[in-house]
């Protein structure tokens, strides 16, 4: 394998006459000396190729490579308006709803303060190296998650299609959670929050108000006003029998999600120039609100009980494998490598942008946000325990969205100035979700526009509309009366196994097929220095083992799903694996297609399929062509 660097103002070197005679077949598509070849690189930079200066080796450039070099991609690639647009977009993508509800629960469940040890270790040796890798690939090759594989290892191009399907699955349920938050936000504009009393049409005889002035008697059948508001008014889950009978569609939620998708469309339809401005609001607003809620929570009576419960270390937990699996899963899904978003965002950077610094800064911000979110949640849960005269563990037994929409919502409702805090809290949830959705869909949009520029390059607005409409119709099943059951199923099975496997194959393809030496050389061209031995060891061995560890743990003990009083049937596990596998099938399908469609013997097909095809733009307008 040899790499040739050709300058855009020089002419393309072709095989010597004797070389062609020796081969017996003149290479097709290679111009004769003196003929100019105009090309537009697939990364959006134009170049003119003609005979080069003296080259001792005078190697031939294969016809396939030259043909790929002539791919047309009109105009220069769009770039971020400002460096902060990129940073805020990446931070907004990494910091999402899971930071607010999942990390605090996982932390206290797996050893409290002791959990921070495996969490930090997994971040340093697994999450951050993968995060760093994707930013480097995106910035160097300047392509989305589909076409970038032509420049790395073409046989794994199916990874890009898998990532796009996973992004659609994610959008089907993730935006529904924002629709719930929007419903809460609209309901909060009242003098008295509707989930503070048992006198509403949706309440049952079991509704018991903890905070009523009279002495309320709590029994095993009692439910709080906040729980009934969430389950019976927002979800209307009592009108569904389970996954086998989801019931009708809630028109209120349809209106909410329509508004959500309208905001999403007009935020990303013009590209990163537009979304980069929107994230100045959606990425910074949550931090302002978190700070306000943290100060308010810290001043509540009993807040210290929640903090102690949250961070009290249980060192024995460090001996349990499940804790390390939980730490690895949390950091992986929090930072978000493998979803194609980091590739897409980094592809709009300038060639010499310091993505190494960006990776470290955004990773630290993400982890610190998770930790602070825990204080925000558990100070309030400590207050709840103080008012109920219960243990914090009883108040914090809800997991997932229920922790926010029931426990936290109930606590807010019984604070002074409850309407104000309810409004800013649910506004925070919506903004946290929005920039993550911007990112997820931008990963798909960039991938398709780069792969099919002749179809969609001048029709971005139309394509974005098609994507948003598809996500809207896919979300309808989660807006049914039993939609919460579907949300839980998709959250656990639709994305996790597929993304983990994709990330593992991606790491192997980059570090072992493309080559760690070549990858580090690419990094050096951009940054001026090569990654150290720590990063090389992590990339070659530790990161793949990190991913393999999570995958094996997931397969050995698939999650047993339960929501409220509903235990998922056994067939739902099979359904979940089928949904997750459906996206991953793109990887082996493309491998088979590639080997069948490539001419030559099996060995020649394999070599061609793992050899980078297309040129990559270098600093200063150079071109790198990979030749065998």
Q: Which of 257, 245, 250 is nearest to 231 (CA)?
A: 250
- Strand pairing report for 566-567 and 562-563: antiparallel
Cα–Cα dist 60/52, whole Å: 12
Buried-exposed string 501-530: b where 16+ CB fall within 10 A, e elsewhere: bbbbbbbbbbbebbebebbbebbebbbeeb
Residues annotated within the binding site are 92, 94-95, 99, 334, 366, 432, 435-436
3-state secondary structure of 4: strand
573 contact partners, CB below 8 Å, separation of at least 6: 493, 558, 561
List, edge to edge, every strand of the sheet that includes 616-617.
2-6, 623-627, 616-617
Cα–Cα dist 231/249, whole Å: 15
Bridge partner list, 4: 625
CB 509 within 8 A of CB 152: yes
Cα–Cα dist 548/128, whole Å: 16
Residues annotated within the binding site for Na(+) are 92, 94-95, 99, 334, 366, 432, 435-436
310 contact partners, CB below 8 Å, separation of at least 6: 104, 107, 108, 112, 374, 375, 377, 378
Cα–Cα dist 189/183, whole Å: 11
Cα–Cα dist 62/43, whole Å: 20
Cα–Cα dist 220/208, whole Å: 11
| H helix count then E strand count, the chain | 29, 7
Task: Quickly list DSSP for 571-592.
Answer: HHHHHHHHHHHHHHTHHHHHHH
Cα–Cα dist 233/201, whole Å: 9
Give, to the nearest 10 degrees, the angle between helix 543-556 and helix 128-141. Answer: 120
């Amino acid at each position: 394998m040899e790499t040739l660097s050709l300058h855009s103002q020089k002419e393309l070197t072709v095989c010597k006459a004797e070389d062609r005679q020796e081969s017996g077949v003149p290479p097709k598509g290679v111009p004769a000396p003196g003929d100019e070849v105009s090309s537009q690189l697939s990364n959006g930079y134009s170049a003119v190729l003609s005979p080069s200066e003296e080259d001792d080796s005078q190697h031939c450039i294969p016809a396939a490579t030259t043909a790929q070099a002539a791919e047309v991609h009109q105009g220069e690639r769009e770039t971020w308006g400002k460096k902060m647009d990129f940073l805020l977009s990446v931070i907004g993508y990494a910091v999402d709803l899971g930071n607010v509800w999942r990390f605090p629960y996982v932390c206290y469940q797996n050893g409290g303060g002791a959990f921070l040890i495996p969490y930090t270790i997994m971040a340093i040796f697994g999450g951050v190296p993968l995060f760093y890798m994707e930013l480097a690939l995106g910035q160097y090759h300047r392509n989305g998650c589909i076409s970038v594989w032509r420049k790395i290892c073409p046989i794994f191009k199916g990874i890009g299609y898998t990532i796009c399907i996973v992004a659609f699955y994610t959008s089907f349920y993730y935006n529904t959670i924002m629709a719930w938050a929007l419903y809460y936000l609209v309901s909060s504009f009242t003098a008295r929050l509707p989930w503070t009393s048992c006198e509403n049409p949706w309440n049952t005889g079991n509704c018991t108000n903890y905070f009523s002035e009279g002495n309320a008697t709590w029994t095993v059948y009692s439910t709080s006003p906040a729980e009934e508001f969430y389950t019976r008014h927002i979800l209307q889950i009592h009108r569904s029998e389970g996954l086998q009978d989801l019931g009708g569609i809630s028109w209120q939620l349809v209106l909410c999600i329509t508004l959500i998708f309208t905001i999403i469309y007009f935020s990303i339809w013009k590209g990163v120039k537009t979304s980069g401005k929107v994230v100045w609001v959606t990425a910074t607003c949550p931090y302002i609100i978190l700070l306000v809620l943290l100060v308010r929570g810290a001043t509540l009576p009993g807040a210290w009980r929640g903090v102690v419960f949250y961070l009290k270390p249980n060192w024995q937990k460090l001996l349990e494998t499940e804790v390390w699996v939980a730490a690895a899963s949390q950091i992986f899904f929090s930072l978000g490598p493998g979803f194609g978003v980091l590739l897409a965002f980094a592809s709009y950077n300038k060639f010499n942008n310091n993505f190494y610094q960006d990776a470290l800064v955004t990773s630290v911000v993400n982890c610190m946000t998770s930790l602070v979110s825990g204080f925000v949640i558990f100070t309030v849960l400590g207050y709840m325990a103080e008012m109920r005269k219960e243990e914090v563990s009883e108040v914090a037994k809800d997991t997932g969205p229920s922790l926010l929409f029931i426990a936290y919502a109930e606590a807010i409702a019984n604070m002074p100035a409850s309407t104000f805090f309810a409004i800013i809290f649910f506004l925070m949830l919506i903004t946290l979700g929005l920039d993550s959705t911007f990112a997820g869909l931008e990963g798909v949009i960039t991938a398709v526009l780069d792969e099919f520029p002749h179809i969609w390059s001048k029709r971005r607005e139309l394509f974005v509309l098609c994507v948003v409409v598809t996500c809207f119709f896919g979300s309808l099943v989660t807006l049914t009366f039993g939609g919460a059951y579907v949300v839980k199923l998709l959250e656990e099975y639709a994305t996790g196994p597929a993304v983990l496997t994709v990330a593992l194959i991606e790491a192997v393809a980059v570090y072992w097929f493309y080559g760690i030496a070549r990858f580090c050389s690419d990094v050096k061209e951009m940054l001026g220095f090569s990654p150290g031995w720590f990063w090389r060891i992590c990339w070659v061995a530790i990161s793949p083992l990190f991913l393999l560890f999570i995958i094996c743990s997931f397969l050995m003990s698939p999650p047993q799903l339960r929501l409220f009083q509903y235990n998922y049937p056994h067939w739902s596990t099979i359904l979940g694996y089928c949904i997750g596998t459906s996206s991953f099938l793109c990887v082996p399908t493309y491998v088979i297609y590639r080997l069948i469609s490539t001419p030559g013997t099996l060995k020649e097909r394999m070599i061609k399929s793992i050899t980078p095809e297309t040129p990559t733009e270098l600093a200063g307008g150079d071109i790198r062509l990979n030749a065998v």
